[in-house]
Amino acid sequence: MKPLSLTLKSLIPSTKFEGARDCAIEFRSFSKNAGFTGTRCAFTVVPNTLKGKAADGSEIELWPLWNRRQATKFNGVSYIVQRGAEAVYSADGQSQTQALIRFYLENAQIIRDQLTKAGLQVYGGVNAPYVWVQTPQGLSSWEFFDQLLQKNYVVGTPGSGFGAAGEGYFRISAFNSRANVEEAMRRLTSNL
């Protein structure tokens, strides 16, 4: 669900969809929108109308089970970190996180534009922090990974690492400084 929290235009949680309260659990985090990958804070939405089937065929609410699970095995997130997460919802926090999101999405736009210019077929990266690239000349995902690393000194993620259907694709992340993104794109467009 991480890309969802980055969406600028339509941040619509899945639980908005009709009937979602009865069939969905939503996992969200502050990692990308507020830069919390090292600070650590997330949340899970377990609607109290959500049910599962017990061995005797009866329908049981999942909320009490998750509540019990957390109370038994988890001590909660540190007070300091939760105060940091709370600040995301203040007026200043909202404008600052929006600025962060905008910055990364501009990086994604640069990556999309430059890779397209280099003759690559690209997907995504519009309301998401990742650009999904078709590997050129029928290279496998890992072959393209090795080529970019050895020739351009640029590291991405082989699409095949996310599953068999990701073979032949490559993921470029927009999470980096503007200077690094521009330099990486300069290397790719001049020497692919």
Partner 1 sequence: MATINNHYLKLKAGYLFPEIGRRVAAFAEAHPEAPIIKLGIGDVTEPLPEACRQAMTQAIAEMGDRNTFKGYGPEQGYGWLREKIAAQDFQARGCAIDASEIFISDGSKCDCGNILDILGDDNSIAVTDPVYPVYVDTHVMAGHTGASNDAGEYAGLTYLPINASNNFTATIPTQKIDLIYLCFPK
Site residues for partner 1, 123-182, by CB under 8 A, read: 123-124, 128-130, 132, 134, 145-146, 149-150, 153-167, 169, 171-177, 180-181
23 and 50 in contact (C-beta within 8 Å)? yes
Q: Is 8 in the site for partner 1 (CB under 8 A)?
A: no
- Shortest Cβ distance from residue 190 to partner 1 (Å)? 14
- Shortest Cβ distance from residue 109 to partner 1 (Å)? 14
Output the CA angle 15-17-22, nearest 5 degrees: 60
Site residues for partner 1, 61-80, by CB under 8 A, read: 62-63, 65-67, 69-71, 73-80
Binding pattern for the stretch 78-117 against partner 1, x by CB under 8 A and - elsewhere = xxxxxxxxxxxxx-xx--xx--x--xx------x------
- Shortest Cβ distance from residue 118 to partner 1 (Å)? 14
The one-letter amino acid at 186:
R
> Distance between CA 4 and CA 83 in Å, rounded?
23
Please pick, from the candidates 8, 22, 27, 126, the single residue that binds partner 1 as defined by CB under 8 A: 27
- Shortest Cβ distance from residue 53 to partner 1 (Å)? 8
> Distance between CA 61 and CA 85 in Å, rounded?
29
State the DSSP string of 63-107: HHHHHHHHHHH-----HHHHHHHHGGGSHHHHHHHHHHHHHHHHH
- Shortest Cβ distance from residue 56 to partner 1 (Å)? 13
Site residues for partner 1, 39-58, by CB under 8 A, read: 39-48, 52-53
Give the residue carrying structure tokens 């073979």.
Answer: 167
Provide the 3-class DSSP secondary structure of residue 123: strand
Residues in contact with partner 1, counted by CB under 8 A, come to a total of 106
